[in-house]
Amino acid sequence: MAKPNVEEMLRSWHTDDPLRLIGRGHPVGDFLGAPEWEVLERGDGSLRLRADLPERVMNPRGELFGGFTATYVDFVSLHLFHLGRPAGEPRRWLSTASLHVEYFAPVRGPEIEIAGELLQRRGRRGCAQTRFFSADGDLCAVGQATLIQHRAS
């Protein structure tokens, strides 16, 4: 299997729209509906997003399925890590070393708010937190992921 060209992949998923996090073509992003998410705030290592929950990520009760909550945490954390990288540092492939989610209330759509923050970054490791809020502003879940950036090869 050929080694993926990360820069080429990132260019293909890029969007120039400041209100969007990612363009189309990323398999997980497309599955989650990320090209339609609205960026409410974007800072150095922080994001606030408005997202519609697609039916495919819901359980039969109309709530975000727990395993997909972790997928959202992982996806947002990867973006947070890159937002917090030093100027001029190339983007490199990331691996998730650990991921944990605490559930406080069901995450129900159709619309939710997601807030993420890069808590710490040292060298090739980083820790990010992602919070899920209901349309009413209630905190429903908090996830935390530790990421490791691959070495240049």
Domain extent for 35: 6-149
Tell me what pLDDT residue 93 has.
84
**CATH number of the structural domain spanning residue 42:** 3.10.129.10
pLDDT grade, residue 30 (50/70/90)? Answer: very high
Q: Is residue 18 part of a domain?
A: yes
116-136 pLDDT tens trace: 999 999 989 999 999 999 988
Of the candidates 34, 42, 82, which has an alpha carbon nearest to the alpha carbon of residue 24? 34
Q: Are 59 and 43 in contact (CB under 8 A)?
A: no
Q: Is residue 65 part of a domain?
A: yes
Judge residue 54's burial from the number of C-beta atoms within 10 Å of its C-beta, 0-12 exposed, 13-18 middle, 19 or more buried.
Answer: middle
Number of domains in the chain: 1
Judge residue 145's burial from the number of C-beta atoms within 10 Å of its C-beta, 0-12 exposed, 13-18 middle, 19 or more buried.
Answer: buried
**pTM for the whole structure:** 0.91
Q: Is residue 63 part of a domain?
A: yes
Q: Is residue 1 part of a domain?
A: no
45-59 pLDDT tens trace: 999 999 999 999 999
Q: Are 81 and 137 in contact (CB under 8 A)?
A: no
Q: Is residue 50 part of a domain?
A: yes
Across the chain, what does the average pLDDT equal?
91
Tell me what pLDDT residue 15 has.
85
